[in-house]
Amino acid sequence: MANYTAADIKALREQTGAGMLDVKKALDEADGDHGKATEILRVKGLKGVTKREGRTASNGLVAAQAEGGVGTLVEVNCETDFVAKGEKFLALADQVLAQAVAVKAADAESLLASELDGKTVKDVLDDANATIGEKIEVRRVARLEGDTVVSYLHRTSPDLPAQIGVLVAVNGGDAQTARDVAMHVAAFSPSVLTRDEIDPQTVENERRVAEATAKEEGKPEQALPRIIEGRVNGYFKENVLLDQPFAKDAKKSVAQVVKDAGAEVTGFARFRVGS
């Protein structure tokens, strides 16, 4: 019979996060050797990682840090909302964010390749995948710099961690203006900062659709240019941050509000878990 105690089982469970039956089997196989049992659990867990590769990790959270004119935003995913609100997953997300800040990561690839406590972040996630029992991944990372960078996190459900995260970089103005814009971005989900960032072909296609729709509706020929322009402007208001009516005062655009505050928005990032 293997030489181990209930205290050994408890210690190995706390270290690995594995279930009691799995821990006992590993200790039996390792003849009570803690190190060997840990390795057995990791190997068995990593076999499960391969099985989980094709599964969808559409739950999780977003985490952010912004200070000193630099902001970092990460999206860490798992398979279920049950895991997303668990202590182990939350602690892992904090660890991932801290690493992203430390190595100045601007994308998921560089973050995953960076070293954390002698392992790559990818290896750390694989270990978590094995112990938590779900596919765990870092989907996206964003990094912004500016005179002022603020972050805003929004919970779509009170019993879950933040599902929407925003960074906004502003030159001039004040932190409150930047935060108001960040809250606006969270609510209205713009895709770009300025009109110039939209592919001209996309704009031209919007014009064609607007014209075809107006003709189908039987609008008079002389009114078509005005109608087409109005509908294309509507597309810009839906997608371009600076063109959108401001959340706190729809009579003004975001661009007007920022200008009145003596500021300039230089960039933003918005993540929503799973989208």
Looking at the domain 59-192+262-272, which fold is it? Tetrahydropterin Synthase; Chain A (3.30.479)
Higher pLDDT, 107 or 41: 107
User: What mean pLDDT do residues 215-240 have?
Assistant: 92
Handedness of CA 202, 204, 206, 212 (dihedral sign): negative
Render pLDDT for 170-215 as a digit per residue (tens, 0 to 9). Answer: 999 988 999 999 999 999 999 999 999 999 999 999 999 999 998 8
pLDDT band at 47 (very low <50, low <70, confident <90, very high): very low
Closest CA to 121 of 145, 102, 144: 102
Residue ranges covered by each domain of the chain: 6-52, 59-192+262-272
Buried b / exposed e along 136-148 (16+ C-beta atoms within 10 A): bbbbbbbbbebeb
Asked if pLDDT for residue 216 goes beyond 90, the answer is no
Give the pLDDT score at 2: 62
Categorize the per-residue pLDDT at 49 as very low, low, confident or very high, splitting at 50, 70 and 90. Answer: very low
Q: Contact 177/169 with Cβ under 8 angstroms?
A: no
pLDDT-derived band at 6 (thresholds 50, 70, 90) equals confident
- Inform me whether the pLDDT recorded for 91 exceeds 50: yes
Lowest mean pLDDT among 35-44, 94-103, 229-238: 35-44
8 with 34: CB under 8 angstroms? yes
23 band by pLDDT with thresholds 50, 70 and 90: confident
pLDDT, mean over the chain:
89
What is the distance between the alpha carbons of residues 181 and 152, in angstroms, rounded to a whole number? 10
pLDDT tops 70 at residue 42: no
Q: What is the pLDDT of residue 54?
A: 57
Residue 108 is given by DSSP the state H
Residue 46 has pLDDT above 60, yes or no: no
CATH of domain 6-52: 1.10.8.10
